[in-house]
């Protein structure tokens, strides 16, 4: 069981948080080089962002369905970023997690890292009576994976690894305004395939409660 160094600053501008992640990654990469060994240092941001769309390095602008003018109208920003995956949305009511850790120190590869992340999310939403699962050919956590007509995504995942150190991470829809997904093909999928805890449960969910559960599940899975 791991006790991550959680940083929970509340609502943070995407660019500011991205810069902080980069600085911490660089610090850990330097520590690896100086000590010629993996570093036990780790950081784990749990944040919310103002409305923002991000496009991964392998993503297609064709999945952004609105103009720059409309982007301004809905109060959202847009960034091309250095994680894997396609386009996604972040905004208020969504719990975003950025684990910054040394894979070698934890003795895991990138696939196992993502698998553990998915498992922690699956265990988190199980606390609310939801059965999450994985979808073949896609990362993240989904509901009703056995029914192609009803399958829907509740958590997106996209990461970057540099010199064995990770950044970026997951976005769990808690009380997210799902209307913002209608302006994109999230991660290449139709927006109708996106859901949230609030939508599934028919009620608003306490963000602090979700943070507490997430911390416990991630600590147990690494």
In this structure, what are the phi and psi dihedrals at residue 142, rounded to the nearest 5 degrees? -125, 160
Residue 76 φ/ψ, nearest 5 degrees: -115, 155
Annotated active-site residue in 187, 194, 197, 214: 187
Residue 155: active-site member: no
Per the CB < 8 A criterion, the answer to whether 221 and 123 are in contact is yes
Q: Dihedral (C-alpha) 1, 28, 11, 111: value to the nearest 10 degrees?
A: -60
Distance CA 43, CA 220 (A): 16
Residue 85 · residue 158 · CB < 8 Å:
yes
| Strand 152-162 to 138-143 pairing | antiparallel
Token digits for 52? 């923002």
Query: What amino acid positions are annotated as catalytic residues?
Result: 187
């Amino acid at each position: 069981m791991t006790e991550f160094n959680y940083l929970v600053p509340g609502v943070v501008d995407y660019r500011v948080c991205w810069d902080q992640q980069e600085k911490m990654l660089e610090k850990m990469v330097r520590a690896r080089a100086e000590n010629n060994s993996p570093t036990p240092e780790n950081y784990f941001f749990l944040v919310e962002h103002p409305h923002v769309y991000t496009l991964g390095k392998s993503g297609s602008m064709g999945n952004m369905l609105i103009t720059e003018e409309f982007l301004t109208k809905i109060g959202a920003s847009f960034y091309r970023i250095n994680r894997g995956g396609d386009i996604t949305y972040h905004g208020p009511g969504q719990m975003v997690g950025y684990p910054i850790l040394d894979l070698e120190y934890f003795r895991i590869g990138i696939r196992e890292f993502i698998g553990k992340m998915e498992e922690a999310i699956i265990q988190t939403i199980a606390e609310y009576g939801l059965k999450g699962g994985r979808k073949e050919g896609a990362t993240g956590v989904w509901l009703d994976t056995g029914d192609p007509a009803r399958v829907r995504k509740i958590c997106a995942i996209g990461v970057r690894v540099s010199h064995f150190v990770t950044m970026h991470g997951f976005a769990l829809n808690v009380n997210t305004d799902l209307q913002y997904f209608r302006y994109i093909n999230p991660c290449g999928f139709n927006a109708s395939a996106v859901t949230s805890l609030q939508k599934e449960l028919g009620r608003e969910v306490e963000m602090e409660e979700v943070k507490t559960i997430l911390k416990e599940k991630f600590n147990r899975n690494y």
